Each structure stands twice: as C-alpha cells, then as structure tokens.
Amino acid sequence: LATYPVEGASSRLRITQFLPYLRRHGIECTFRPLFDSAFYKTFYSRGRFVRKAIRFFILTLRRVGDLVRARAYDVVFIQREAHIIGPPIFEWFLAKVLRKPIIFDFDDAVFVPSASDVYGRLASLLKRPAKTKSILRWSSEVIVCTEHSRRFAAQYHPRPHVIPTVVDASIFTPVAKKPDAPVPIGWIGSFSAGPFIVGFRNVFERLGARHRYRLLLVGLGRPFEIASPNVEVINIPWALEREAADYQRLDIGVYPLISDPWTEGKMGLKVVAYMAVGIPSVSSPIGGHVSFMHHGVNGFFASTEDEWVDTLSLLIDDPALRDRIGRRGRETVEASYCLDKQAPRLLDVLRAAAGQPPFDPN
C-alpha cells in the first residue's frame, strides 16, 4: 500500500523497482497506490477543489476495498501511510483486527509537520504526522532510509532497518559527453522542492557572469529566468519515460537545500542519481548523503553563495576533474547505492515479517 502511483518517486524507488527481483525470489506482490496516475497529476495543482474532493472520496472507498483484499496476503507493506489524511485507521485495522504483519517504510521525515504550497497549513493538520508513532508501534518491521529517521523510529520500534533509496544502476548509467557544447548544469526534482531552486537564482546569475553554460531544470513546475545572456535555461516538466535520460544530459548536478527538520531527514536521492550517471554534483551539506559523499572525492559540498559559485566555476573549467569525480561517484553507487545491493536486504526484511528465515542463495 502506498499513497502515490509509480510516478511518485517514493513509490517507484521504494517499491515498484524492487518487484521484479522479489517475484524472482518467490514473493507474489500486489501494488496498490491510493492515488491513480490521473489524480496524482492534478492533486498538487491549484483549483478544481470540488472535482478533486469527489475523486478523493472515490479513491478512499477503493482503499477500504484494499482492507478486504488484504485478508488474502501474508504481509502488508505500507510506504509512508495507507491514507494521506486522518488518523491511522487503516493501519490500525490491518494490525489489530486482521492481525497482519506490517512492514512500515518511510523515506522522508514524515513525522515532521510540513505545510503545502497548494493546501497550506491545512495539509499538515489533515496529514497528522504524529500518527507515525502509532504505526511504528504496530509494525512488525520498519524500514527507513537515513540514520536521522532511524533514530526517530528507534524510540517506538526496537529494530528499524536502514535501506537507502537507490536507483537501478543498469538504467542510470554514464554516457559519453560532448566537450564542445556549453556545459549543462542541472536539477531534476518536483514542484515541492522548487523553492530551493527559486531561492538559488542569484548563484546561477553570478555564475553566468563568469561562464557560458546551459541550465536544465526538470520538474520545477514554475517559470524560471536568468538575467544573463550567457545562460540558456531549459525548463521542462518531469516525465517518467525520460527520467534517466534527463540525468544523463547533465555534466554537473546541483542539490541545494535549506536546513530545517524536514530536509534533515532527506536521504539525497538526487546525489545518488547524479553519481549513478557518472557526473559530479554540488550539494548543501544537509541530509543523509553527507554520510556517503566526500568533499572533493565523489562530490562537493557548498554552504555559502560564494562557495557555490566558486565550486561550480571550478567544475566548468576542469573537464578532467568532472570526469574523475564522476567516476568515483559511480563507484560509490555500484558498491552500495544501487538496486542490486539493496534488493536482497529488502527481501530478507519481507521474509522476516512473514516468519521465514533469510534467503539462502545456495
């Protein structure tokens, strides 16, 4: 059970990309998101509130039907929450009435209140992040993606597992670069992270005073302009079918964040994806990626505006440095932060919840 369909990064990277591996190892899986693809595309846009409310009610009824279907399953895996609003009624029913083993997985700091750009503070009130504590207590197994979240979960569950969010390294691969083109720098994300990029405009403009480069923004969901003739801005919607290809278009990736309780719980998926396609990235030293990204080795950190401009300028000027850092990043992904390395760990957690021993490859 998940909130979002495959278009949502949490569902795609925490659930669906693992399903072929799990099925090959004897686990029959059914993926049931609360939102369908059409509703997901409109839910976080403004307007049409009556139409969305009606569809939301219908999808909630469908989720009630999932409780009936759950009787036929050995384990229920819940990604983030069974329903996006209200108290944990669905989780309570699964654990206390049906007595199903629950695996509770969350990839963000879902226990922290956060406002929505579309629904404002009402979203935090309806989502009731405090319910995370109850779900943790009712769960047979718990999976988080950072040490930050593990420390929180350990207050309410005896043995949370840390499984990072990863990519399929056979899909996110390095590609040959064109040395004669303006260096493409980019960010790939979603509208919810858009404010980090909007607040970063001055860095891009200052960098444009030093260099000619191309700026690719994918999934920003709002207009973005740079007051410099040296910067070509390409601002396009995110699309599932070209996700890996958009990362491969870049020579340098950026991952700016503002420190707050929500961002402290982020794992740094963008950094993993940049590393997987063999490019260097510059990021804020906030979140889980500070544990596996080492400054000047497989990536760079920057805190001040001057540090951002100087580090990006250094990478633009030095193709050999970009290549060296990118290769080390790819090695990091292949060693630990890819589907091949983490799928067996998820398999063992699922087997434990079902009362089975760890998988024996022999």
Give the pLDDT confidence of 126-161 residue by residue, as tens digits.
Answer: 677 789 999 999 999 999 999 999 999 999 999 999
Q: pLDDT tens digits, the chain, 362 residues: what are they?
A: 999 999 999 999 999 999 999 999 999 999 999 999 999 988 877 777 888 899 999 999 999 999 999 999 999 999 999 999 999 999 999 999 999 999 999 998 888 876 555 555 655 566 777 899 999 999 999 999 999 999 999 999 999 999 999 999 999 999 998 877 899 999 999 877 788 898 899 999 999 999 999 999 999 988 999 988 999 999 999 999 999 999 999 999 999 999 888 889 899 999 999 999 999 999 999 999 999 999 999 999 999 999 999 999 999 999 999 999 999 999 999 999 999 999 999 999 999 999 999 988 76
Among residues 127, 173, 148, 144, the alpha carbon closest in space to that of 79 is found at: 144
List the structure tokens of 297: 């080795």
Going across the sheet that includes 102-106, the strands are 76-79, 102-106, 141-144, 161-162
Give the pLDDT confidence of 156-200 residue by residue, as tens digits.
Answer: 999 999 999 999 999 999 999 887 789 999 999 987 778 889 889
pLDDT of residue 115: 59
SS3 360: coil
Q: Cα-flanking dihedrals φ and ψ of residue 361, to 5°?
A: -65, -15
pLDDT of residue 126: 66
pLDDT of residue 177: 86
What is the length of the chain? 362
Q: Are 336 and 292 in contact (CB under 8 A)?
A: yes
List the structure tokens of 344: 């067996």
d(CA 147, CA 39): 33
List the structure tokens of 307: 């540090």
pLDDT of residue 360: 81
What is the chain's alpha carbon radius of gyration, rounded to the nearest angstrom? 21
Q: Angle CA(124)–CA(128)–CA(134) in degrees, nearest 5?
A: 155
List the structure tokens of 217: 């923004």
d(CA 261, CA 242): 32
pLDDT of residue 190: 84
d(CA 343, CA 167): 11
The amino acid at residue 121 is: R
CA distances from 264 to 140, 166, 201, 285, 306 (A): 26, 18, 22, 10, 23
